[in-house]
Structures are given as structure tokens and as C-alpha cells.
Amino acid sequence: MSRQPVRFDAVTLEVIWTRLVSVVDEAAAALVRSSFSTLVRESYDFSCIITDTKGRCLGQATDSIPSFIGTLPKTVRHFLDHFPAETLKPGDVLITNDPWMGTGHLPDLTVAKPLFRDGKHVGFAASTTHSPDMGGRTGTADIRDVFEEGLQVPMLKLMDAGRIDQTFISLLRKNVRVPDQVVGDLWAQVSALELMERRLFDLMSDYQLDELEGLADEILDRSEAAMRGAIRAFPDGTYTYELQTDGIVEPVTIKIAVKVKGDSILVDYDGTSPQVDRAINVALCYTYAQTVYGLKCILAPDMLNNDGALRPIEVIAPEGSILNHRYPASGQTRTLVGHFLPFAVFGAISKAAPERVAAGPGSPLWSLQASGVNDKGETYVNKFFFNGGTGGTAQRDGYNVLSWPSNISCVPVEMMEQQSNFRVMHKRLREGSAGSGKHRGGLGQETLLEYRSERPVVVGFHAERTVIAPPGINGGEDGKTGILEINGKPLTPAQQKVQHVIRAGDRIHLKTPGGAGFGAPANRDGALISRDRKAGYA
């Protein structure tokens, strides 16, 4: 393997890089603790990065969710196209939620701050968070276009040379249901950018760096070389897979071809279903992010996140397909398709290297969003998450009720009851929901909610895999499909994706899918079989 010319040796680079990651982690910790919405603090639905002047990411906060690895540095580069470097001033903060330049849907607000050190532009601090509301129709896939999705924020200067754009803030507050939370989170994001700026400048002083480009070259080249090494160790070939999702009125087909050639990978989604007139379209930026997440799990789970590691990977999807939709179609609930992509990668690779992947998970993530007016006349939004089981692997059973591919926590039952008018009647493992196998899947959960207020509430869901089960791998059986019921009546995929008015005494039962099995059930260890029987898992 040929080595790049050494600009930083093995020790110096390690020391600086460790410190750089601690800078973004410190900002992430401050953001989590000071945010107003459960989306950031309980669900970690955010990211913080530092880039050089070209928008090349040097480090990303360790706890950020996977989907933003791929998107945020690209958004910074879009900002640069829109606001060329010579138009940027100290104290500027840029903002957008453009789905195609951001993360695929409007609730994700991205902010970036150009960093000026002694008057010289040295890079950007940037952050994306999932805002608790962006107006529009909410918590449902029943949205026809991006205008129904809510407030669109074009590329703007939120702060111009340190001055906040109050007109924008007023406009934002007026268009969202929970203005204090939305603006509070935005404020927390801006503070995080300032924190990154201060800490980065300390670092640059300590190591006498007057620019970040050389450091970026070194970090990105080494990361790229390591990723290329990992790819080279994988046998060349074209690995294909096809899966279906419940969709809305008809199933969505995802067709993937993972082409490994030498030290690079091309992922092609040719043959995938066309875009639809509902909100389950996935912008290419998000398609890319979920795809590289799956590949990274397989190839380099330990590697730190940055653009260099992703250079050898290209992802394409036909324009106008559900994985690369055109304006003005909506991607509001893009996870309902996007969360299938890491598993599509696993499915493709499973034939060549089953030991490196997991069987089908009980995802996408399920959720319930309720919005209404409380007794004091205030508008509110409650959002609760429900995970399924994960798939079995060559090494062990799948995990019961665990978030994958995302990493979103449940809201505690006591918090749900305190913050909403729902009573949780039970929340328990869903017995028998796992696909059996040498290593079975993880169990899903069953949660029963009862509504207790005389004021009706509008509820929207995210639910999937209620028709088409998580597929087994290597002879493992499929996981059990999920069931979403209102007052005992199961909802069809189309019914799941429209809003429902819920009244006092109504009951909602969410039974999330179980993970699929890995390997033939006949090969399962007898001790595990009897444990499962005794504990009531199977």
C-alpha cells in the first residue's frame, strides 16, 4: 500500500485528532443537555461537525445518528455554493431546511457558521437537528407535496455579522405549533456552533495551526486509504438483492446492486419503484446516508466518521425513483422507506459474507404523534417512539426491542403519561414475534394506549412491516409482521398513513415487528430453545 506524503506523523495526528473529536463531542453534549425537544435529547436526532473551508468534514460528534454522516458536510458545501466564501463575514450563521440540500425532509434544520480566526476564514462549524415541528401536516405520510409538509426555509443568513434576523424568527415562530421548543432548539444549536468555534481556536493555537486544509488532507487521505483497504479485502463482484415494503396503496420495491471493484464500491438502485404522491420519498442525500451506514457496519465499524472514509463509495438511484425524487414531492416520512436501505445492503452482501450482516430487523422505527390543544388552550405535540426487534447474526440472537438502523430511545411510560392524555395499559415484549433460526431474531413490543381526555386529539403514525415480514438470512425464518390497531381493528398500510381523530376511551395497540432469524432453526442450541420456552420468548 502506497503511503501519502507525511504531513503529520502517527503521533501528532493522533493527538490532534483526539482533541478535535473531543471538541465536537463537547458541543454535542451541550446541545443534548440544552435542547427543548425529546428529538435531540432522548433520541439523539442531531449531528455536529467541523469542516475546513471547502466543507470537508474533519470530525463528527460520536453520538450523532447515522443518517447525518453523509448529509451534513454536503449541506455545508451547498451553503458555500450559495454564499461564496468572499461573501461570508465573522458572526454569520447560515440556515436551511431544503430537503434536497439537507436531509430529505423539512423538520431537519441545518445551521453552519463560517469560522474566522484573526480575520481569516478557516472552516465551518455545522449542526443539523430534527426540530419538533415545522408546521404543515404533521406525523403522517398523507402529504402530497413539500408545501403541505410545512415551512420551507431557503438558504438564509440566520445571523448576519452577529445580528439575528428577527423577521425570520418571527416568521418561524408564527408557523410552528411549539414555537418555544423550536426556537429553543435552534438557540441550542447556535450555542453549540459557538462552542465548537472557541474550542477549535484553542486547539489551533496549541498546535500552531493557522489553517485546517493540511490537517483535513491528512485525515481524509488516511481514512480513505483505510476504507479502500477494507474494500479491497472484500471479494470483487456485483451483489444484488430485492425487497418490498408495505408501502401505502401498493408495496414499494427496492432493488439494489452493490458493485465491489478493487478498492471502490458503486451502489446502484436501478429498478427501484418510482416516486409516489405521498411523503415516503427519499431524497438522494438520505439514500446515500442510509446506504453508507449499512456499508460501514460491514466494512469498518470502528472507523471515525469523515468524508474521506466515504470517498470510495458512490451511490446512485434513478431520478424520479422513490430513492431520488423530484421537487416538489415530499419526503416528510422518508424513514418509512429509507430505514430499509441498510438492510438492503445487508441482503445483497449476505450471499457473499453472511457472517458480516444481520437478518431482517423489525424496523423502520414506529412512532405515534399526537397534536392538539390542551386545557389551557395551548397547542402541543407529543411524539412517542416504538422499536421492534433486530435480526439474528452469525454470532448471536437479535436484540429484543432495539433501535436499528437509527438509534432512537423510547419515551419512558411515566413521562408519556405525564406529558399526554394517554394511559399506557401495558408495554411488554411481544411473545413469539421473532423469526426462529440458529440465532433467532429479537422480539418486538406490544404497547396498548388508552386516551383519557374529553378533548379529541389528532394522531398520525409511522408503521411498517405489517404486511411484508422482515426476511430471514441463511435459512433463518422471517420475523413476525407488526400490527397496528385502533379499538381492536387492524389498520391497513393506507389507513396507517392517514391522520386519525382519537376520543376519550379509544385504544391504540402498537405491536412492532420481531427481527428475523439467522441460520436454520434446526441448528439452534437445545439450551436456548428451552430457555426461550420457559421465559415465554418463543
Partner 1 sequence: MPYSLGIDIGGTFTDLVLFDPESGVQHNLKILTTPEEPEKAVINGTRQMIEKVGIKAADINRVVHATTLFTNAMIERKGAVTGLITTAGFRDVLEVGRERKFELYDIFIEMPEALVPRTLRFEAMERMSPAGEVEVALHKASLKEACDKLIAEGVNSIAVSFLHSYANPAHEREAAAFIQENYPDVFVTTSFEVAPEIREYERTSTTVANAYVKPLAAAYLGRLEAQLREMGVNAPLFLMVSSGGLTHIGEARRTPIQLLESGPAAGALSAAFFGGRSDVNHVLAFDMGGTTAKLSVVDNGEPLVAYKFEAARTRRFKEGSGLPIKISTIDLIEIGAGGGSIAHVDNMGLMKVGPESASSRPGPACYGLGGTMPTVTDANLALGYLNPDFFAGGTMTVDTGKAREAIGGLSEETGLSVSELAWGVHDIVNENMASAARVHVAERGKDLRKYVLVTTGGGGPLHGYQVARKLGLKRLVCPPAAGVASALGLLIAPARVDRVATIARPVSDLDWTELEATYASLESEARATINETVPEASEITVRRLADMRYIGQGFELVVNLPEGPYDGTSREVILEKFRAAYRDVFTLNPPTDRIEIVNIRVTVSAPTGMAGAGESDAKGSTDAAVKHVRKVYFPEVKDFVETRVFERSKLPAGITIKGPAVVEEPESTLIVGPEGTLTVEPSGNILVDIAA
Binding positions for partner 1, 423-462, rule CB under 8 A: 424-429, 445, 448
Count interface residues toward partner 1 (CB under 8 A): 90
Handedness of CA 222, 223, 225, 226 (dihedral sign): positive
Which H or E element spans position 449? strand 445-451
Collapsed DSSP state (helix, strand, coil) of residue 12: helix
Could you tell me which stretch among 107-115, 390-398, 456-464, 467-475 binds partner 1 (CB under 8 A)? 390-398
Give least dist CB 458 to partner 1, A: 20
Stretch that binds partner 1, among 92-100, 144-152, 269-277, 406-414 (CB under 8 A): 406-414
> Mask of contacts with partner 1, 340-379, x by CB under 8 A?
-----------------xx---------------------
Among 49, 200, 401, 459, binds partner 1 (CB under 8 A): 401
Provide the minimum distance between the beta carbon of 189 and partner 1 in the complex, in angstroms, as a whole number: 11
Of 455 and 533, which has the nearer Cβ to partner 1? 533
**One of 87, 238, 374, 409 touching partner 1 (CB under 8 A):** 409
Q: Figure out which of the listed residues 21, 134, 280, 348 binds partner 1, where binding follows CB under 8 A.
A: 21
Question: Using an 8 Å Cβ cutoff, are 318 and 270 in contact?
Answer: yes
530 belongs to the binding site for partner 1 (CB under 8 A): no
What's the CA gap between 219 and 213, in Å, rounded?
Answer: 10
Among 128, 393, 433, 474, binds partner 1 (CB under 8 A): 393
Please identify, using beta-carbon distances, which residue of 180 and 250 lies nearer to partner 1.
180
By CB under 8 A, residue 37 contacts partner 1: yes
Q: Which DSSP string do the residues of 24-93 spell out, in sequence order?
A: HHHHHHHHHHH-SSHHHHTT--EEEEEE-TT--EEEE-TTS-THHHHHHHHHHHHHHHHS-GGG--TT-E
Cβ-based nearer residue to partner 1, 32 or 155 = 32
Q: Which of 75, 96, 272, 403 binds partner 1 (CB under 8 A)?
A: 403
Nearer to partner 1, 127 or 321 (CB): 127
Q: Between 118 and 302, name the residue whose CB sits nearer to partner 1.
A: 302
CA distance linking residue 183 with residue 164, whole number of Å: 12
Region of 274 (left: φ > 0; alpha: ψ -120 to 50; beta: rest) is: beta
Contact 388, 511 (CB under 8 A): no
Query: Shortest Cβ distance from residue 491 to partner 1 (Å)?
Result: 22
Provide the minimum distance between the beta carbon of 278 and partner 1 in the complex, in angstroms, as a whole number.
27
CA distances from 107 to 80, 280, 333, 357, 508 (A): 22, 14, 10, 31, 26
User: 227 or 457: whose CB is closer to partner 1?
Assistant: 227
Which stretch, 133-141, 235-243, 258-266, 383-391, contacts partner 1 (CB under 8 A)? 383-391
Distance CA 41, CA 26 (A): 14
Please tell me whether residue 6 adopts helix, strand or coil conformation: coil
Binding residue for partner 1 (CB under 8 A) from 156, 415, 467, 529?
Answer: 415
Torsion of CA 61, 63, 66, 69, to 10 degrees: 0
Can you tell me the distance from the alpha carbon of 59 to that of 48, in angstroms, rounded to the nearest whole number?
Answer: 9
Site for partner 1 in 319-338 (CB under 8 A): none
Closer residue to partner 1, CB minimum distance, 136 or 388 = 388
SS3 label, residue 305: coil
Out of 145, 160, 165, 194, the residue judged to bind partner 1 by CB under 8 A: 194
Report which of 480, 477, 248 is spatially closest to residue 362, judged by C-alpha positions.
Answer: 480
Residue 201 as a binder of partner 1 (CB under 8 A): the answer is no
Stretch in the footprint of partner 1 (CB under 8 A) among 134-142, 173-181, 254-262, 470-478: 173-181
Cell numbers describing residue 378: 395551548
How many whole angstroms separate alpha carbon 174 and alpha carbon 331? Answer: 23
The beta-carbon contacts of 198-207 under 8 Å, at least 24 apart in sequence, are 199/23, 199/26, 199/27, 200/20, 200/23, 200/50, 200/115, 200/122, 200/123, 200/125, 201/115, 201/117, 203/16, 203/19, 203/20, 203/23, 204/117, 204/122, 207/12, 207/16
Minimal distance in Å, beta carbon 375 to partner 1?
13
Nearer to partner 1 by C-beta: 32 or 459?
32
Q: How far is the CB of 396 from partner 1 (least distance, A)?
A: 7
- Of these, 83, 116, 168, 187, which contacts partner 1 (CB under 8 A)? 187
Q: Which of 48, 230, 313, 516 binds partner 1 (CB under 8 A)?
A: 230
Comparing C-alpha atoms, which of 273, 274, 307, 271 is closest to residue 292?
A: 307
In whole angstroms, give the CA distance from residue 372 to residue 452: 14
Return the C-alpha torsion angle 110, 111, 114, 117, nearest 10. -120
- Contact pattern for partner 1 over residues 100 through 119, marking x by CB under 8 A: --------------------
* Per-residue contact string for residues 51-70; x = within reach of partner 1 by CB under 8 A: --------------xx----
358 φ, ψ to 5°?
-120, 155
| Residue 394 Cβ vs partner 1, minimum distance, rounded to whole Å | 9
